Amino acid sequence: MPGQETDLAAIEDDETGGALQLLWDSSAANTRNGRRGAVLAWTSWCAERGYDGPAVPAWAKRLAAPDSDTPVRSQMAIDRPIARRDVHLREKTWTWPTAAAR
């Protein structure tokens, strides 16, 4: 219940998974995975400092990210315009990948 204090050690792993499911199961895969990652980072942070607390259960798995329509650029295609000294940084970031930045 909001506003109530709960001992961290009293939270069950399945409650953590249930909260992830309740809050973000209807979200896009990348959003859900990002929130799950944040919860994992927080629980790891707690464990590193010796706090007893919940973990994200195995059944609350990461979702596969959907295929993207964004073309993948090679490292060379990225490095070439960045390395050009005749093009200012502003133009590199604002206009890339146009002809001016190639």
Provide the residue ranges of all domains of the chain, joining segments of one domain with +: 1-67, 71-102
Radius of gyration of the chain (CA): 22
Q: Looking at 22-26, 48-52, 81-85, which range is the least confident one?
A: 81-85
Please check the confidence at residue 5 and state whether its pLDDT lies above 90.
Answer: no
Please give the Cα distance from 10 to 102 (Å, whole number): 57
pLDDT > 70: percent of the chain: 88
Please give the Cα distance from 11 to 52 (Å, whole number): 9
